[in-house]
Amino acid sequence: METKPLGRWGAGLVGLAIGVIVGLILAERGDQPANPELRTLDADLWVQTSAEYRACCWQAFQLARVQLDANLKSGTLCDEKDGPPGRDTRPAAVVLDLDETVLDNSSYQSYLFETRQNYSRETWKEWEANHASEVRLLPGAREFIDHAQRSGVEVVYISNRRQEFQAQAVEILKAHQLNVNDIEGRLFLRGPGDSQNKEPRRARVRQKYRVVLLVGDNLRDFSERFAVANLDTLEPAARTSALEQRNKEADTCRDRWGTCWIVLPNPIYGEWHDALGKQPADFLRPGMKPR
């Protein structure tokens, strides 16, 4: 794939809208298949254009700031595998995911739409390797991170970005004026032997820090209790069961939301999206009955 900029804003949303209309017309005539990224178009546009999305981000990080201060004062420990509060000499840390928690990768989604293709490891690898300059920050992320550091709290990142592109990840943080001092000990990316499971890396963080807050956009950023096993091969009935189980776990953890675990909105992708499979409409609740 040619390494040219992905999802440039130069054409603007006008060009995107024209492409949508033309694509829909051609698909209706049968001249070409529908764009596979139509499924996430509204989600992409909501993230890129809506004031509501920005408000949700500011709200989440404002709450994170309040809770960080409160947890520091009370001595609250927020990693679910940590021991009970008590005398603890470990330095305090807040743990953040990167993608769609601190970093806005929605231009990658624009690229997928413009080139009429689904997500693939190859295009995401290209994005990580060569397009650091096109990654933005979520509203409120820098302000929260700066506040944590002014409060004497270490900012630790656990991300499933690839370790082979650590230099590019650090480049993004540096370009957005985020502190990268001692970043080697604060940035836990996915190494060659790592899976999507972040628990082993959270365990490494616990050894050094007392975690007083976690911030993420996917519930597996907080706990593996939200993981769905064998996601790619599930039958529809098993997918329904998996979705119900994740909802049950979210309810079970109700006391952690907004106190220890802060969630950023991500309507584009994640465990919830993958669990729906290729026929997402099958999981809609029954509609309004005709009169």
3-state secondary structure of 181: coil
The domain limits of the chain are 53-105+136-283
3-state secondary structure of 168: helix
Bridge partners (DSSP) listed for residue 216: 263
CA torsion angle 30 113 270 9 (round to 10): -160
3-state secondary structure of 198: coil
Tokens coding 144:
């929260």
According to the model, what pLDDT value does residue 290 have? 83
3-state secondary structure of 55: helix
Say how many C-beta atoms besides its own lie within 10 A of residue 203's C-beta: 11
Q: Would you say the pTM of this structure is higher than 0.85?
A: yes
Find the helix or strand (DSSP H, E) in which 268 lies: none
According to the model, what pLDDT value does residue 83 have? 81
Q: Which CATH superfamily is domain 53-105+136-283 in?
A: HAD superfamily/HAD-like (3.40.50.1000)
Residue 68 · residue 32 · CB < 8 Å: no
Q: Counting every residue, how long is the chain? A: 291
**Angle, vertex CA 198, rays to CA 137 and CA 99, nearest 5:** 15
According to the model, what pLDDT value does residue 14 have? 44
According to the model, what pLDDT value does residue 264 have? 98
Residue with tokens 């091969």: 233
Bridge partners (DSSP) listed for residue 73: none
Find the helix or strand (DSSP H, E) in which 3 lies: none
Tokens coding 204:
């490494």
- The amino acid present at 233, given as its one-letter code, is T
Question: CA 116, CA 123: separation in Å to the nearest integer?
Answer: 12
Where helices occur in the chain by DSSP H, the ranges are 12-29, 41-49, 51-74, 106-114, 121-130, 141-150, 166-175, 199-208, 236-252, 271-275
Provide the residue-wise pLDDT of the chain in tens; the chain has 291 residues: 444 455 554 444 444 544 555 454 444 555 567 899 999 999 999 999 999 999 999 999 999 999 999 999 999 999 999 987 777 899 999 999 999 999 999 999 999 999 999 999 999 999 999 999 999 999 999 999 999 999 999 999 999 999 999 999 999 999 999 999 999 999 999 999 899 999 999 999 999 999 999 999 999 999 999 999 888 899 999 999 999 999 999 999 999 999 999 999 999 999 999 999 999 999 999 988 888
The order of strands in the sheet holding 187-190 is: 187-190, 154-162, 92-96, 210-216, 261-263
